[in-house]
Amino acid sequence: MAVKTNCTKAGTKYYRITITVGKDNLGKFIRKDFYGKSKSEAESLRDEYLNNINSGLDINYRDKSLGDLMHTWLFEVVRVASKPATFERYESIYRNYIKSNPVNNDLPSLFNLKIYDIKPIQLQRYYNDLYANNKSSNVIKNLNKFLKTFFNYAYEEGYILKNPCIGKKIVIPRNSEVNEDSEESKEFSIFTEEEIKSFQKSIEKNRIRALFVLALATGLRRGELLGLKWNDIDFDSKELKVQRSVKRVTLINEKEEREGKIIVQLPKTKTSIRTVPIPSSVIPILEKHKIQQNKERLKLGDSYLNNDGYVFTTESGNLIDPRNLLRAYMRALKSGGIMYRKFHNLRHTYATRLFEEDVPLKTVQELLGHSDLSVTSNIYTHVMPAKKSDAAEKLNRLFY
């Protein structure tokens, strides 16, 4: 009678087959063990492994956990190849949704799963669990995009045969109806004309009034406004060039030590580097701001820090911390009795007013610096129905 087992592991009898798959950096043989309930089962596992190695997988593909490989990818690839803000966002997702289960610490996290064995259904169940515990669809969508990028890396490095996030096997959970009072609906709400008047009145004596006015008049992002220099502004042609962005990020080193810092970087995308016209009525406000800044420079003398010609700085010439800008913005809204909206909604208001003035979609895309026309049309679909109705009404004359 054939022997079915030849070893005992953790109190259970198995049939073990051992093979040599190469040598490590020290010249020692690398051996792999395969355990089955019978010799044929162990041989089947061995053959599967060898076939996968021949298909291009790494010899350690069965041993690598998702967490270990992701940490290597994040801190040795992403950190040195990406903008600090991108790495900060990725590291936050890794820390909050991979290293631990944010819904229930008693439940297993994705961190310890063997990457080769991960199936789409495991990710789907995790997403469903997050959603059931009040994590938004947007959070889960960003998590899935993050994992998709990581699994592409794992595939290229030979740890998986296919990306479990690609295809239609995973569905991002969401409500079939969107509540009008939800964050999704508030995100793109714009300021009314009455609110804009109240806002302008509340910032009349504000030291950085010009920044808020410019946000409404040009649609620049917060970081792009803070990154403007005087030589970016052409007062004669009434236009400005967007060439950099200021952002506060958390710098994280390989030891996962964290440090908050204000940095200057290139704008969001290549198309974000652009030229934007300035309304004539805004030019005097900018000129007045420049005069005020020169007074501050003269008052402080050598102690003044703005030697690079930034348009918007603190009174001492430092770059403005984006967090402090938000605080000033919130005070201005409160002073004007205006319902809180994100600073980015100034940009949405600018774009919506352009559409209302029948500015073509392609022109709006270029003014906003969007990378693709579809990005602009997808964001501002809420404007389109009204414009379509206007177009239909113009056909009325054909029927009289």
CATH of residue 310's domain is 1.10.443.10
Alpha-carbon distances, residue 331 vs 132, 234, 387 (angstroms) = 36, 31, 34
Same domain? For 71 and 48 the reply is no
397 part of a folded domain: no
Phi, psi angle pair for 308, to nearest 5°: -105, 0
Helices assigned H by DSSP within 157-260? 183-187, 193-202, 209-218, 222-226
| CA dihedral sign, ordered 317, 319, 323, 329 | positive
Token digits of residue 277 = 């016209």
Same domain? For 302 and 253 the reply is yes
Count of CB atoms within 10 A of residue 357's CB?
7
165 part of a folded domain: no
Catalytic residue among 99, 229, 344, 382: 344
Catalytic residue among 28, 255, 394, 397: 255
**How many domains does the chain fold into?**
3
Token digits of residue 235 = 């007062």
Count of CB atoms within 10 A of residue 328's CB?
15
Domain residues for 37? 7-54
Tell me whether residue 221 is one of the annotated catalytic residues: yes
- Contact (CB, 8 A) for 246 and 267: no
Same domain? For 73 and 36 the reply is no
Which among 157, 217, 143, 204 has a CA at the least distance from the CA of 336?
204
User: What is the pTM (predicted TM-score) of this model?
Assistant: 0.69
Same domain? For 273 and 126 the reply is no
178 part of a folded domain: no
Same domain? For 270 and 149 the reply is no
377 part of a folded domain: yes
Tell me whether residue 347 is one of the annotated catalytic residues: yes
Catalytic residue among 64, 268, 341, 370: 370
Distance of alpha carbon 149 from alpha carbon 157, whole angstroms = 13
With residue 29 as reference, give the H or E element that holds it.
Answer: strand 29-36
Task: Give the burial string for 55-91 (b: 16+ CB within 10 Å, else e).
Answer: eebbeebbebebbebbbebbbeebbeeeebbebbebb
Query: Which of residues 104, 134, 156 is at a domain's end?
Result: 156
Residues 6+ apart with CB under 8 A from 272: 221, 224, 242, 245, 369
Same domain? For 13 and 128 the reply is no
Distance of alpha carbon 21 from alpha carbon 58, whole angstroms = 11
Helices assigned H by DSSP within the chain? 39-54, 66-73, 79-81, 84-93, 120-132, 137-156, 183-187, 193-202, 209-218, 222-226, 283-300, 322-335, 344-356, 361-368, 373-379, 384-393
400 part of a folded domain: no
Residues 6+ apart with CB under 8 A from 64: 58, 114, 115, 116, 159
Beta bridge partners of 65: 114
Tell me whether residue 289 is one of the annotated catalytic residues: no
Query: Which of residues 156, 175, 203 is at a domain's end?
Result: 156
Same domain? For 233 and 206 the reply is yes
Tell me whether residue 370 is one of the annotated catalytic residues: yes
Tell me whether residue 255 is one of the annotated catalytic residues: yes
Catalytic residue among 64, 209, 244, 347: 347
Please report, in tens digits, the pLDDT of each residue of the chain (400 residues total).
Answer: 556 788 888 888 899 888 887 777 777 877 888 888 888 888 888 888 777 777 667 666 677 889 989 998 999 899 888 888 889 999 999 999 998 877 766 666 788 898 888 999 999 999 999 998 888 899 999 999 999 999 999 888 888 888 999 877 799 998 654 443 444 444 568 899 999 999 999 999 999 999 999 999 999 999 999 999 999 999 999 999 999 999 998 888 877 888 889 999 988 788 999 999 999 999 999 999 999 999 999 999 989 888 789 999 999 999 999 999 999 999 999 999 999 999 999 999 999 999 888 899 999 999 999 988 888 888 887 665 555 555 545 555 555 5
Catalytic residue among 32, 221, 274, 341: 221
Same domain? For 138 and 45 the reply is no
- Contact (CB, 8 A) for 58 and 22: no
Which among 238, 345, 244, 247 has a CA at the least distance from the CA of 287?
238
Specify the pLDDT at position 399: 54
Same domain? For 19 and 81 the reply is no
Same domain? For 199 and 281 the reply is yes
146 part of a folded domain: yes
Distance of alpha carbon 213 from alpha carbon 246, whole angstroms = 18
Same domain? For 143 and 282 the reply is no
Same domain? For 77 and 49 the reply is no
Specify the pLDDT at position 60: 67
Specify the pLDDT at position 61: 63
Tell me whether residue 382 is one of the annotated catalytic residues: no
379 part of a folded domain: yes
60 part of a folded domain: no
